[in-house]
Structure 1
Amino acid sequence: MSITLNQMSTIFALLAISATVNAEGHQYLPKPPSVTNALEYDQNVDLENYYVSEKLDGVRAIWTGKELVTRSGRVLNAPNWFVRALPNISVEGELWAGRGAFSQVQKTVLDKIPNDEQWQGITFMLFDVPGHLGTFEQRYEYLTSYCNSLPYTHIQCVEQKLIATHKELASLLVDVTEYEAEGLMLKVRHEIYHPGRNSSLIKVKTVQDTEGVVVGYKPGKGKFNGVMGALLIEIKGGVRLYVGTGFTDEERKQLQRLVKSLLSNTMDGLIMACRGLPDFIALESKSS
């Protein structure tokens, strides 16, 4: 089914009209934006059809034309000066503060009350235009032209390159990860924007991600008595395992309260995005 530019703009405008508020006071769109999710890399990929760029370790965000939101639909309370130059169609990118600064980005952009000084250290690195009907080459041309026209430095375009061989790709992966980059992204050049998990977007990492559903938890013992000890995760294929490392003490307290409350209220789980070592645990209701 094809969607016209007007229809696409209408969809994002409707999504931006109203938002729900959860128990923590965070606003969410009624329905999360439809974005492309990456497949894992393998050597059968025809690199001639792809651009390659650095995989930025930040918070993925979508500008709907009116609001800045995460891919789960959470509305981000960015300062007015940060978003006022963004276009009236949807663009997608990474809120980023440089390599190895993910925690700083997370703390800054997820705050309910924006801190201007902290937002000064955030750059919106644009990498796609869901509201544009052209191929990625055409969307990239739009992004570079748009970013080059801006007098601001906090909105930039992710650089895309062509690469010839898988050996060259592997060498580039080694180079960027040596400097604390998360990995690489491959974006198909000659296709329109395809929401959902598909081969138009491929991630190349030294440590692979996975997704699972939180179906329970294990109370902590010893120094973790009274807080969450480990989350019980069900991953693809019905395999269940406990994830109990990589959490701060405060995260353990919050997750104990959150998971216990949600599971006791007949929810059947939470979507959990695991990023290799769980330095960032994103929990979303399964219905979102």
Structure 2
Amino acid sequence: MAVLRYSFHSIVLNRRSLLLAAFGAVAAPAAFAREAAPSLMLADVYRPGMSLHDYWVSEKYDGVRGYWDGKQLWTRGGERIVAPAWFTAPLPKQPLDGELWVGRGQFARAVSTVRSQTPNDIAWREMHFMVFDLPAQGGDFTTRLAVLRKLLPITDAPWVVAVPQERATTHAALQALLDKTVKMGGEGLMLHRGSSPYRGERNSDLLKVKPYEDAEARVVEHVPGKGKHSGRLGALVVETADGKRFKLGTGLTDAERENPPAVGSWVTYRYNGTTAKGLPRFARFMRVREG
């Protein structure tokens, strides 16, 4: 058993450097260096019964958050995105907040394309920049949306798209739209309060609507597997922002068990409610957090 444990940790240590480099946790080439993270508006979670008054609704695109500062694309975490010159050349000088999205169910492809330090022209031809806000534009969201609709589309850049928005009405209509979106392979919906200014923080002016809850936690330990997972990862021990720790063992693919998310990285997990101690019920690994 000692030999297996040693072997597991050797594998993890050898591969961890690759993961850390890929996700910006160790020194990276200058072209992909981490800068100060952009101050972006982050979503809270919609719960049934919350007022829908003054909210706009749109699809939640399962891609990589992208921030265009007028000159350069950045990830949410402050990593410079090396996109082909033709992709960014037509973009306006005005900052744009959106999602770099390949298509429904194609999150892994989007991440692979965005993370590449040498842009793959063919892969980027499939990428869309789904823009949902103008961070530097004054006024509330409804006002910014009107400006965005005049700014986009750009004739020379059909891959830059203003996210379609419509007024939210009733909870029944919202649930029907969520069901339809998920059936088509979508991740969920977003609600954006019309009267909200752009605030670079997590707040209830922006809400995500999903058929399940999700959250993020930091990996603090690798637990070696047993039985069929002997010699590779069995589970992740993760810690939430408020200091709660728990094991995350389901939802991991064989590839992820062989090349586990690095200690110190942040992962997204899904769950269904919480226990009396505030721990997530039926927590399931989804992915390493982008950016």
TM-score normalised to structure 2 length: 0.80
Q: How many residues align?
A: 255
Of 31, 36, 48 in structure 2, the residue corresponding to residue 31 of structure 1 is: 36
- Corresponding residue number in structure 2 for 1:48: 53
Amino acid paired to 2:174? L
Question: For residue 26 of structure 2, what is the aligned residue in structure 1?
Answer: 22
Alpha carbons 1:21, 1:28 under 8 Å: kept: no
SS of equivalent residue, structure 2 residue 236 = strand
Q: CA deviation at 1:245?
A: 3.0
Task: Decide whether the 8 Å contact of 2:269 with 2:285 is kept in 1.
Answer: yes
Give the letter aligned to residue 26 of structure 2: N
Partner of residue 217, structure 2: 212
Amino acid at match of 1:272: V
CA distance in 2 between partners of 1:123 and 1:114 (Å): 15
- 2:267 and 2:287 mapped to 1: Cα distance? 10
* In the alignment, structure 1 residue 114 sits paired with structure 2 residue 114: no
Question: In the alignment, which of 80, 85, 110 is matched to residue 85 of structure 2?
Answer: 80
Deviations 1:113-152 (A, max 9, x none): 1110011111101001111122111211122111134332
Within 2, Cα distance between the matches of 1:275 and 1:23?
30
State how far apart, in whole Å, the 2-side matches of 1:28 and 1:140 are.
32
Q: Deviations over 1:19-75 (max 9, x none)?
A: x99335472443100111111112343322110001111111111122111101111
Identical aligned residues as a percent: 38
Kindly provide the amino acid, as one letter, of the partner of residue 106 in structure 2. Answer: A
Superposition TM-score, scaled by structure 1 size: 0.80
Alignment root-mean-square deviation, CA? 2.3
Distance 1:88 1:157 in 2: 16
Matched, 1:129 2:124: no
Instruction: Determine if the alignment matches structure 1 residue 278 to structure 2 residue 285.
Output: yes
Unaligned runs of 5+ in 1: 1-19, 260-268
Letter in 1 for 2:144: R
Q: Which residue of 1 aligns with 2:275?
A: none
Q: Conserved in 2, the CA contact under 8 Å of 1:135 and 1:193?
A: yes
The residue identity in structure 2 corresponding to 1:22 is: V
Distance in 1 between the 2:81 and 2:256 partners? 21
User: Corresponding residue for 2:14?
Assistant: none
SS at match of 1:43: coil
Give the aligned partner of residue 256 of structure 2: 251
Decide whether the 8 Å contact of 1:230 with 1:243 is kept in 2.
yes
1:169 to 174, 177, 186: 174
Q: Separation in 2 of the partners of 1:221 and 1:179?
A: 37
Read off the aligned partner of 2:268 and give its amino acid letter.
Answer: A
**Partner residue in 1 for 2:105:** 100
**1:231-250 equivalent positions in 2, closer than 5 A:** 231-235=236-240, 238-250=243-255
Deviation of 1:222 after TM superposition, in Å, equals 4.5
For residue 227 of structure 1, report the CA deviation from its aligned partner.
3.3
Deviation at 1:283, TM superposition (A): 7.0
- Seen in structure 2, the aligned counterparts of structure 1 residues 59 and 189 have a Cα distance that, compared at 3 Å, is same
1:36 aligned partner, one-letter code: M
Matches within 5 A, 1:180-199: 180-199=185-204
2:136, 2:214 → 1: CA distance?
28
Q: Is the 8 A contact 1:272 1:281 kept in 2?
A: yes
Larger RCO (CA under 8 A, 6+ residues apart): 2
Which amino acid is the alignment partner of residue 288 of structure 2? I
